[in-house]
Amino acid sequence: MTNDLYEPANFRTALRDWLDENDLSPGDDHSLQGHIRQFARVQRALYDAGWSRYGWPEHAGGLGGPAILRAIVGEEVVGRRLAEPGPYSMLEVLAPTMIDYAKPELAAEMVPKLLSGEEQWCQGFSEPGSGSDLASLTTRAVLKPDSGGGTYVINGQKVWTSFAQFSHRCVLLTRTGDADTPNHQAITAFFVDLDTPGISVRPLRTMHDVDEFCEVYFDDVEVDASRMLGKPGDGWQLAMDLLPYERSTCFWQRIAYLYSRFDSLVDEVKRQGQSIDSDMGEVYLALHTLRCRSRATQHRLAEGHKLGPDTSIDKVLLAGAEQRLYDTVRDLLPGAIELDDTPWRTEYLYSRAATIYGGTAEVQRNIIARRLLDLGKE
Ligand SMILES: Cc1cc2nc3c(=O)[nH]c(=O)nc-3n(C[C@H](O)[C@H](O)[C@H](O)COP(=O)(O)OP(=O)(O)OC[C@H]3O[C@@H](n4cnc5c(N)ncnc54)[C@H](O)[C@@H]3O)c2cc1C
């Protein structure tokens, strides 16, 4: 590989050539399990050819280069519909956290498993009583007596854990402090193997009929202290560092997907003999605004800036653009949402979740008002 390849335009051209020559088209299995299998297959091929290692640090199994290179891979792969955006997004959310917080030898061992599609991971943050108010979480980790500080025992329940039923490991938030510990210093993160005794994963049915997320129960689950991410009490900072990825960069490839669905909508509208009206223009504008914002965020990341509360803007724009696209599908393709068994229906229903996952629209607006505009409380 020449250094030239680290230049984004060259990288994209070479990747496109490679994708043209290597057929990774999905088969006919459109189940969630099929999507996960296809994602693993694509990641394996990309990893073996080096592509999915660019933009990730060498000490974690990557080939280095700016983070923008991995954004290009996601955009090309998902834009061509070779992988679905949901499973793909977990990469961009969880790998940076492991690289920043896991002990170096653990990150070096584990991150390549995620990049190569050998494993899927999940994010165990939300609980039945703790979503927007994440700091109130109650899943507890206590040091096992007589373990010499070497083992923690975890009890509690997580919910809405995406892809847990397919995952090998989980980035888990727990409470470790005692009653006197200030709330945000009482949270500690672990990297937990999901086949550890005491863990049960139960998929939940969703209104769009895809069992994307799960309840995960922890009953006396023993985890080695070496699996702690950071130090005791670092869990809140870990969450604050992870969420900006979940609210911005992990959507870059989702935007490519939404553009491809916008093109499909244009085709269908034309086929039905309708004219392309101003609603379509508004959808395009919303998508374009989102892409411009997201592009600026990708560049900030590539230049080494730390992502923070400003990514709430990306999240608000994503949710708005996605819902506007599918609302327009509903308005322009009569019956496609209500009656037909088409992908539009599933996607329309899933788009309602865009104002919930990664932090609700209301909470993002609170962050923008308080932390970016300094407008004070409530
Ligand atoms: C598709 C999907 C995938 C998900 N995947 C994961 C995952 O993999 N891992 C994970 O840990 N979690 C996941 N979640 C959970 C998600 O993070 C939470 O649903 C979200 O943070 C909201 O929490 P909640 O559902 O408990 O709602 P609540 O916090 O109970 O909110 C209920 C309502 O009250 C509003 N509200 C709450 N607080 C305020 C406030 N201070 N000001 C104004 N309004 C407020 C909210 O906006 C919302 O409308 C997923 C959710 C979805 C929909």
Closest C-alpha to 155, from 95, 215, 99, 220: 220
Say yes or no to pLDDT of 182 above 60: yes
Residue-wise pLDDT tens digits, 20-50: 999 999 999 989 999 999 999 999 999 999 9
Ligand 1 geometric centre to CA of 346 (Å): 21
Reported as a single tens digit per residue, the pLDDT across 328-356 is 999 999 889 988 678 899 999 999 999 99
Q: Which domains does the chain have, with CATH numbers?
A: 3-119 (1.10.540), 123-233 (2.40.110.10), 247-372 (1.20.140.10)
Provide, rounded to the nearest whole percent, the portion of the chain with pLDDT above 70. Answer: 99
Cα(270) to centroid of ligand 1, in Å?
A: 38
Which token pair is 44?
A: 């394996």
**Structure tokens that stand for 29 in this block:** 């299995």
Selection from 166, 273, 149 nearest residue 213 by Cα: 166
Q: What is the rounded average pLDDT of the residues 136-158?
A: 95
* Confidence (pLDDT) at 136: 94
**For 73-88, what is each residue's pLDDT tens digit?**
999 999 999 999 988 8
**336 Cα–ligand 1 center, Å:** 28
Residues with CB under 6 A from ligand 1: 122-126, 131-132, 160-162, 213, 353, 356-357, 359-360, 362-363, 366
Q: Which residue has the tokens 């653009």?
A: 321
Q: Is 119 a catalytic residue?
A: no
Residue nearest to atom 48 of ligand 1 (CA): 360
Cα→Cα distances 227→60, 153, 192, Å? 16, 12, 7
Cβ–Cβ < 8 Å for 254, 296: no
Q: Name the strand (E) or helix (H) holding 170.
A: strand 169-175
Give the helix/strand (H/E) hosting 15: helix 8-21
Return the pLDDT at 187.
97
Site to substitute for ligand 1 among 355, 363, 366, 368, most atoms within 8 A of C-beta: 363
User: How far is residue 90 from each of residues 155, 250, 338, measured CA to CA in Å?
Assistant: 25, 7, 30
246, 268, 362, 378: which one is catalytic? 246
Written as six digits, the tokens of 99 are 């690289």
pLDDT over threshold 70, residue 3: no
Mean pLDDT to the nearest integer, 60-73: 94
Distance between Cα 213 and ligand 1 center (Å): 13
Position 378 scores a pLDDT of: 63
State the pLDDT at residue 361: 97
pLDDT of 291 above 90: yes
DSSP, collapsed to helix, strand or coil, labels residue 163 as: coil
| pLDDT for residue 2 | 53
As a whole-number percent, the residues of the chain with pLDDT over 90 amount to: 83
Atom of ligand 1 minimally distant from the CA of 133: 29
Would you say 254 and 246 are in contact if contact means Cβ atoms under 8 Å apart? no
Say yes or no to pLDDT of 377 above 70.
yes
Q: Report pLDDT digits (tens) over 217-268.
A: 999 999 999 999 999 999 999 999 999 999 998 889 999 999 999 999 999 9
356 burial (CB, 10 Å; 0-12 / 13-18 / 19+) is middle
Report the atom number in ligand 1 closest to the C-alpha of 173: 11
Model confidence at 7, in pLDDT bands (50, 70, 90)?
very high
Classify residue 362 as exposed, middle or buried by CB count within 10 Å of its CB (0-12, 13-18, 19+).
exposed
Residue 105 bridge partners (DSSP): none
- What is the residue-averaged pLDDT of the chain? 94
Amino acid at 149: G
Task: Summarize the confidence of residues 288-295 as an average pLDDT.
Answer: 96
In this structure, the residue with its CA closest to atom 41 of ligand 1 is 363
Atom of ligand 1 nearest to the CA of 162: 8
Tell whether the model's pLDDT for residue 10 goes beyond 80.
Answer: yes
